Amino acid sequence: MQNGSEIIIGRPQYLEQLKKWKNQPDLIKIITGVRRCGKSKLFYLYQFDLLANKEADYSQIININLEDRLMTREIGLTLEANNRLSGTDALLDYIVKKLNPEKMNYVFLDEIQLLDDWQVVANTLRLRDNIDVYLTGSNAYMFSSDLANQLGGRYIEIKMQPLSFREYFDAYPMFAQLYTRTRKDIENLHHPAYLYSHYIKEGGFPQTLSLVYDKQLINDYLMDTVYLNTIQKDVVRRFGIADGNKLEGVVRYLFDNIGNETSIRGIERGLKSMGFSVSVPTISQYIQGLEDSYLLYKCEPFDIKGKQLLETNAKYYVADIGLRTALLGKEGADSGHILENVVYLELIRRGYKVSLGKVYSKGRLVEVDFVATKSGGIVEYYQVSLSVQDTQTLERELEPLQAIDDNFPKFLLTMDYDESDNKGIKHINALKWLLDFD
């Protein structure tokens, strides 16, 4: 889709979720996710859909971006010393003046966490029968433990991520063909393995697609616009961090150890070996900030037989592999854990709650990469490996799945092209699974 000179990438999964909750004004729709993953563009797509299908006209759409300083000044919001906006009454007055009293109004408030007492605004608008409210936020801590009470439980959260591999696969050729010259390059634009190699280097933040083939621009964008902007606004300011080097040490350690079981004490020891002296409480605080800013995901261990979470070492995964590549400067290293990270994010994207599985086999505790659970008791088990062409590797990867004594589906995802069924365990090519191709 073209917006002026800008190409907008379709996000059908999230657009359909918004449309499902349309015209239910008693429910606030909140889109959350890491900065620059496409939340504002999703608002644009949704508004375009409303207009194109003649479900609304321009008088019914009120769109406010709280990061737009000119707009907030026009409204009458004031910027406080803590870089937050105040003036809920001014915002409400501005919105009320723009309402179409005869029709349903669609109110979009972008980056709502920047406003003090934003819950008051959201609740006040929700109580009007002719206002359908949509919000975006880039910080999980905006959802305090009592949010359900503050909003009366009347909200729906849509968790957004950067582009999935399928979205990237569909969109990349549209951009790359502008710079492609040879027949071989044109053929590569539709080859999953070729596009996957770009995906894990350049990442899934939508803006990187318009920078196709320019590694330096992509790296600068990921580091400056995404990473440093997020760290500064969502972690440093929040916790009043004076020593940014220690925070970066924690980030680098976690990004470098995706897919490895780790503990806070283990992180402390690892940082000490790198020359950083960071206390356990400080590390815990930093990790919470990284999780709340959606830069980092925690995968907790789960006892498959006992059906409960365990208080042991967890695994961490990054929100986008390209961001990891930009920060660490590594390309092609640790391919197995990179694939594991991509699969983890895809399971989350498909609506699963994901844990690290633990089960006993032959008298010892073994690991199932992912226990993926959906509401209604649906469970799937996943092992992820770069390749199982070697017989010993295949046996090692199958063993944990074979030790599970229930009948839920079990999958082994690899980059191998040979697929098979090992006594009910489906061995599938990971790229085929990611693309959701039959």
The answer to whether residue 5 scores a pLDDT higher than 50 is no
Q: How confident is the model at residue 4 (pLDDT cuts 50, 70, 90)?
A: very low
The answer to whether residue 331 scores a pLDDT higher than 80 is no
- CA 41 to chain CA centroid, Å, is 15
pLDDT of residue 149: 67
pLDDT of residue 133: 97
Q: Lowest-pLDDT range, 171-185, 267-281, 285-299?
A: 171-185
The CA distance from 109 to 123, in Å, is: 13
Instruction: Give the model confidence (pLDDT) of 234-276 as tens digits.
Output: 999 889 998 899 999 999 999 999 999 999 999 999 999 988 8
pLDDT of residue 165: 96
Would you give the end-to-end CA distance of the chain in angstroms? 27
pLDDT of residue 214: 87
The answer to whether residue 2 scores a pLDDT higher than 60 is no
pLDDT of residue 139: 87
The answer to whether residue 173 scores a pLDDT higher than 80 is yes
pTM: 0.94
- The closest of 143, 106, 139, 191 to 432, measured between CA atoms, is 191
Angle at alpha carbon of residue 235, lines to 112 and 137, rounded to 5°: 20
The answer to whether residue 333 scores a pLDDT higher than 90 is no
Average pLDDT, the chain: 91
pLDDT of residue 367: 95
* Neighbour-count burial of 410, counting CB atoms closer than 10 A to its CB (0-12 exposed, 13-18 middle, 19+ buried): buried
pLDDT of residue 180: 63
* Neighbour-count burial of 205, counting CB atoms closer than 10 A to its CB (0-12 exposed, 13-18 middle, 19+ buried): buried
The answer to whether residue 284 scores a pLDDT higher than 80 is yes
pLDDT of residue 306: 80
Q: How confident is the model at residue 78 (pLDDT cuts 50, 70, 90)?
A: very high
pLDDT of residue 437: 62
Most confident of 33-47, 174-188, 329-343: 33-47
pLDDT of residue 377: 84
> What is the mean predicted confidence (pLDDT) over 208-220?
89
Instruction: Give the model confidence (pLDDT) of 354-370 as tens digits.
Output: 999 999 999 999 999 99
> What is the mean predicted confidence (pLDDT) over 403-416?
96
> What is the mean predicted confidence (pLDDT) over 80-109?
95
